[in-house]
Amino acid sequence: MHLPTALLNRLRGPGLVGHVIAMLAGALSTLSFAPYHLWPLGMLSVALLYQGLCQVDSKQAAVRGGAWGLGLFASGVSWIYISIHLHGNASPLLAGVLTGGLELILSLFFALMAWVWVRFFRSHGPWFGSLSFAAIWVAQEIFRSWFLTGFPWLYHGYAHTQTWLNGWAPVGGVWLVGGISVFIACLLSEWQLLRRPKQALAALLLVAAFWCGGYALQQVNWTQSKGDPLTVNLVQANIEQALKWDPDYITHTLSLYRDLTYAQPATDLVVWPETAVPVLQSQGQYFVDGIAANLAKRGSTLITGIPVDDMQPAGMKIYNGIMVGGSEPQSEYLKQKLVPFGEFVPMEELLRGLIDFFNLPMSSFSRGPADQGPLLAAGYRLAPLICYEAVYPDFAARQAAQSDLLITISNDSWFGSSIGPLQHLQMAQMRAIESQRWMIRATNNGVTALIDEQGRIRQRIAQFQQEVLLGEVQPMQGLTPYLRWQSAPLMALVVLVLLVIGLRRRRQNTR
């Protein structure tokens, strides 16, 4: 027996060997994302999981799906360890336990997905089997975007940010791109089609239609230019995370942003990153207003991240904010999607103070209101996305639908030189593709970038460099189908597909 055939048989059969192969396959999927961009490995990874579930019972399927998910998250979000250990002052053992615990919890999404597919939808035919698997995959990813505030990271569609399949993103977002890719991967893994020439030809034609359709959709201009391009100045100050909130370093930080900004020629917009002003707004407003007033004389508008404090009858609330300096009326946005433990502590009464990680600087932010409009600057509407918010597809789409440009400010210093910040950049590219709008991305230590409406990075500053990016962005108008309807049509399609296949399977089982 040839080695590939033997491995495939072990993968399909129950037992530990199949689970280990599935875990390795999950780890393989990480190589399809940034910074590696080996997208065929992502499809191979999905195909291995699919084949590994074709002959096992539902209990074995749950373990196998969980093993695949653990491989994905252990390799793909291991960078969380850096923030817990280095910046949360947790011991290597404790940081490893906390990181591993999170990865194990996240793997349960794939365990549930695999169990549901095998228990209720697995079909003996390659067409319905592949289609139902892709549908449940999409449902799992959408579910993961909101359950317990969501962890919308490592969606399969991000692997195709630079392939023809990204043409489907303005139609159905990253979830549609991922669903198509999963369907193709599963269908091409069905070797029995080779014994049926007509079906094999039909499968190849369908695969070609998806790829060529994506290329054709890339040529569609869902949006159009609005007005003249804006010149921008993005300041990447490269402040070390350990110094960012140090009271003795704040004056130096503010002076650095001021001096880097003034040293550049006048531009329409000047953008500083997330919490670039590391003091509460009530204390730092005078500084922002002074800089904004000086820039206004040059025809420039300042946009900066700043913690916003608000005294209410129930007590002080602090928000992670972004503001347009010196605007009348003042334009600001308060972050809605907060990072668990980084910006708020779940079960705070129990966890706060147990270890340093649960007491990080600025980890008591409040959630901003849901009815906030876009920022108004230089005569245009900007969709604000603060750091983590850029990874929520539907949330970003709702923001973008009201706006002419996307702007995201971030501070990925928490994750050092890991792959996390580069994955984050890739997600920002997908948001630009979905909305067909330019993205302004300003970060503390990289990657600061300008991304066009096709998701291409036009200019960037490498990580860990103190530099200023000067460039142009083009405001856009019009709505892509995804901005108009978000994920509602795709979810309706998923429900319809699963309903039809579920009823068909039930009839087969009752014969």
Tell me which residues are annotated as active site: 274, 335, 387
First to last CA, the chain: 36
Element (H, E) at 451: strand 448-451
The residues facing 319 across adjacent strands are: 308
Beta bridge partners of 233: 270, 470
Retrieve residue 420's tokens.
């996390």
CA 317 to chain centre: 27
277 Rama class: left (phi>0) / alpha (psi -120 to 50) / beta? beta
Spatial contact of 402 and 390, defined as CB atoms under 8 Å apart: no
312 Cβ contact list (under 8 Å, min separation 6): none
How far from chain centre, in Å, is Cα 120?
30
Return phi, psi of residue 457, to 5°.
-80, 110
- Tell whether omega for the bond before 271 is within 30 degrees of 0, i.e. cis: no
Alpha helices in 77-156 (DSSP H): 80-82, 92-116, 126-144
Task: Please name the residue that has the structure tokens 């129990």.
Answer: 350
Which residues, in sequence order, are CB contacts of 362 under 8 Å at separation 6+? 245, 275, 307, 318, 320, 343
| Interacting residues of 194 by C-beta distance below 8 A, sequence separation 6+ | 200
Max CA separation in the chain (angstroms):
80
Closest C-alpha to 280, from 248, 316, 252: 316
Contact 43, 1 (CB under 8 A): no
Reading the block at residue 257, the tokens are 């942003």
Q: How far is CA 458 from the centre of its chain?
A: 20
Q: Who's near 445: CB < 8 A, 6+ residues apart?
A: 236, 238, 239, 411, 412, 413, 463, 464
Let me know the angle formed at the C-alpha of 363 by 331 and 91, rounded to the nearest 5 degrees: 145
Task: For residues 117 and 62, give the distance between their C-alpha atoms in angstroms, rounded to a whole number.
Answer: 10
CA within 13 Å, CB half, 22: 33
* DSSP label at residue 369: P
The angle formed by the CA atoms of residues 31, 33 and 37, to the nearest 5 degrees, is 75
Judge contact between 22 and 68, C-beta under 8 A: yes
Prior bond to 329 cis, omega within 30? yes
Do the beta carbons of residue 281 and residue 306 sit within 8 Å? Answer: yes
